Amino acid sequence: MNMNKNNLILYSAILIFGLAAPFLFPAFKVQLSILCVLIVLATTWNIQGGEMGYNSFGNILFYGLGMYLCASVQVGMFFPLAEWTESGGEKTFVHTPTQFFQGMAVGLVVAAIVPTIVAGLIGYSILGLRGHYFAICTLGLGVAAGEISGGIEIIGAGQGFTTPPFPDVGSLEARGEFFYFLSFFTLILTFIAVRSIYSTRFKLILNAIRDNEDKAEAMGIETMKYKIIGWMISAFFCGLAGGIMGGLVGYIDSTDVAFDGREMGVFMVLMAILGGKGTLWGPIIGATIFHIFKEGFWTFFLGWQYVALGVLIVVIVIYFPEGIMGWLREKYPERFGEVVDEKDRKAQVELK
Amino acid sequence: MDFLVFQYPMITVQACLDGILLGVLFALIAYGMALQWGVMNIINIAQGDLVILGGYIAYFMYLYGIHPAWGVIVAPVIMYFVGIAIYKLVINKVVDRDLFISILATFGISILFMQLMNFAFGADVVLANSGYGTTMLFDSNVVLPNSKIFSAFISILFAACLVIYMKKSKLGRAIRATAQNARAAKILGVDTEKVYAATFGINAALCGVAGALISITFTIHPYMGLPYTIRSFMIVIVAGLGNLPGVAMSGMGLGVFEEFADYILGTEFRIGSVFLLLVLILVYRRFKLSRKREYLK
């Protein structure tokens, strides 16, 4: 995919829309920020889920880790962490604006780097598993992280952790705009990173691993190295997204917000599959559609959302496993740069 | 974190006995999972939710004044049909597909069941009181509720019946043939579609029995399903498919492990330790297998 004129127009249109969106739709700022975070999660899940063929339920581990780390650093840099969590919702300590933004910046750096290191450390053991063993193992990792963090006192144990409230900087809109631009910037960063990854040999190696790992290994590719790097890239952006989401939600609970395998952990898989695994735009489209659907359902059918979610998973998985991009690709193969032989196509139609 | 276990040996005995009685139940659930994993090559994430549903059947019998122990007869009958319904609606469309598809589909069923049970039965932790009393051992130092002994006995009974049924009956033979080679079985006239449905039904029925027993001995809650799935998955991978004594042994081992984790680490880390054990077992297995692979090279 080279940067032609059409792409340039598309990208600038999206960029302008993204920059103008919080002023055009001021009521939806939080929703738009969440959408950005969801797209980041879906896109990075797609790196190892779609391109590498390692379907992980465990990226929620990095997301939750990033969330806890960012908030803990933000608090711990200026105040005693234990007393903060002890006091719960009561605000005995107040961040000044400088402290808040400094803490947030350092927190996000830590939230991005530590999960990457964790992914690198556990990668050698976990990524040696294949297929469904990998899926179940990562599912276990996510749930175990949630259960264990729910028992640790210093980060609030079962009662949760209140992230520092946004400081008073004069404008009421500032909080929403700050988090929106933070998440939008992260989204652009992710998109550029993923897009440049996908135009290198690295993506071909990941695809080779997905298609036939043993053969890739026999061809002289150090599959384990590339698998770990792929997972580390995912972990980096998941941690970042988690850190932002923690500040956005304002409250961290071990099993309901941070390591929520039942929600976020499935959402990222579902969004990527809905849009189309193994494509650049698939997860983005999937996340957008899913978010609109989800918000509509969460608003109008409150209480039935998990029922809808369960049905949605089953329906998507059974009837729509290729996703929207896969469907488009089948319908308009020329648009995807596939050369179609007319004779061959007609012959196939006749065979049917 | 206190090490009471080492100061009072009777606690060790208590934990071991509790663990073994609990492990027999886990083994029963794992047996169902091994059965349908072996036959249909599907990992059912909704296994635990079927267990909980079976538990609620027994609990409702208790609420309406019937002794919950009868649940072990009623629950499997109802659950058999629930299982067949799930098979007809969802599973038969994912049987031949990629394993991840079936994991995700059953994950969806699991979420659906969780929430429907939450609506129907409420989010309270409940148990069906069987009123069986307790047995004291070793000068009343070890207390065993009779309901646990009863549940272990019933589990063994059902497992034994099923083993005999699988060996002797026509359907059992068809199931075993399909597990060995589905295509060959089809050629030889086995209706594999029917066999799959029956397998899933039997699995659900086993879950129903286990659930009814769990509602008598422990507690049930709509969201407690996933740990049971993970436990049975763990037991099956430790024992290996089609290794019945192995399933029983590793089930009991897991039960004992859990009781000790409960005493040593504290109750809040109980579920966490189960999931962590799963990860450790899978990683251990991966290194063991990779050594074998290198050796073969």
Residues B257, B15 contacting (CB under 8 angstroms): no
Dig out the tokens for A4 from the structure.
């032609």
| pLDDT for position A68 | 86
Contact list, B221 vs chain A (CB under 8 Å):
none
Best residue in A136, A138, A273 for a mutation probing chain B (most B CBs within 10 Å): A136
Domain ranges of chain B: 4-296
| pLDDT for position B1 | 46
| pLDDT for position A103 | 83
* % residues pLDDT > 90 (chain B): 1
Residue A25 CB partners (closer than 8 Å, separation 6+): A32
| pLDDT for position B263 | 78
Element (H, E) at A121: helix A97-126
Q: Which of A76, A84, A67, A85 is nearest to A103 (CA)?
A: A76
Quote the mean pLDDT of chain A: 81
| pLDDT for position B296 | 47
Closest-CA residue of B relative to A137 is B279
**Region of poorest pLDDT, from A24-38, B24-38, B134-148, B276-290:** B134-148
pLDDT in tens, A214-238: 888 888 888 888 889 988 988 999 8
Closest-CA residue of B relative to A146 is B272
Residue A346 CB partners (closer than 8 Å, separation 6+): none
| pLDDT for position A87 | 67
| Averaged pLDDT, B119-128 | 77
Say whether residue A121 is in contact with chain B using an 8 A CB cutoff.
no
pLDDT in tens, A49-87: 888 888 888 888 888 888 888 888 888 877 777 677 666
Per DSSP bridges, beta strands B134-137 and A251-252 are: unpaired
| pLDDT for position A107 | 87
Out of B97-106, B118-127, B203-212, B268-277, the most confident range is: B203-212
Query: pLDDT at residue A334 above 80?
Result: no
Of A136, A269, A310, the CB nearest to B112: A310
Query: pLDDT at residue B251 above 70?
Result: yes
| pLDDT for position A340 | 65
Residues paired with A161 in a beta bridge:
A252
A109 vs B97: which has the higher pLDDT:
A109
Q: To the nearest 10°, the Cα dihedral for A177, A180, A185, A187?
A: -170
Q: How far is CA B234 from CA A128, A136, B17, B30, B237, in A?
A: 18, 10, 21, 8, 5
Q: pTM for the full model? A: 0.84
**Region of poorest pLDDT, from A197-201, A217-221, B116-120, B141-145:** B141-145
Q: Which of A259, A295, A338 is nearest to A67 (CA)?
A: A259
pLDDT in tens, A257-298: 777 777 788 888 888 888 888 788 888 888 888 888 888 877
Nearest CA distance, B93 vs chain A (angstrom): 7
Contact list, B279 vs chain A (CB under 8 Å):
126, 137, 140-141, 144
CATH for A24-308?
1.10.3470
| Averaged pLDDT, A17-45 | 83
Give the separation between CA B246 and CA A255, rounded to whole angstroms.
Answer: 33
ipTM: 0.81
| Averaged pLDDT, B30-45 | 86
| pLDDT for position B122 | 77
Of A131, A303, A309, the CB nearest to B99: A131
Length of chain A in terms of residues written: 352
| Averaged pLDDT, B198-224 | 87
Give the separation between CA B17 and CA A270, rounded to whole angstroms.
Answer: 43
| pLDDT for position A336 | 67
Helix (H, G, I), strand (E, B) or coil at B90: helix
Helix (H, G, I), strand (E, B) or coil at B220: strand
pLDDT in tens, A135-189: 888 888 888 888 888 777 777 666 777 777 777 776 777 778 888 888 888 898 8
| pLDDT for position A158 | 66
Residue type, A236: F
pLDDT in tens, B135-153: 777 666 677 777 888 888 8
Query: pLDDT at residue A196 above 80?
Result: yes
CATH 1.10.3470-classified regions of chain A = 24-308
Do A321 and B101 count as a contact with CB atoms less than 8 A apart?
yes
Say whether residue B136 is in contact with chain A using an 8 A CB cutoff.
no
Give the separation between CA B113 and CA B96, rounded to whole angstroms.
Answer: 24
- CATH classification (class only), B4-296: mainly alpha
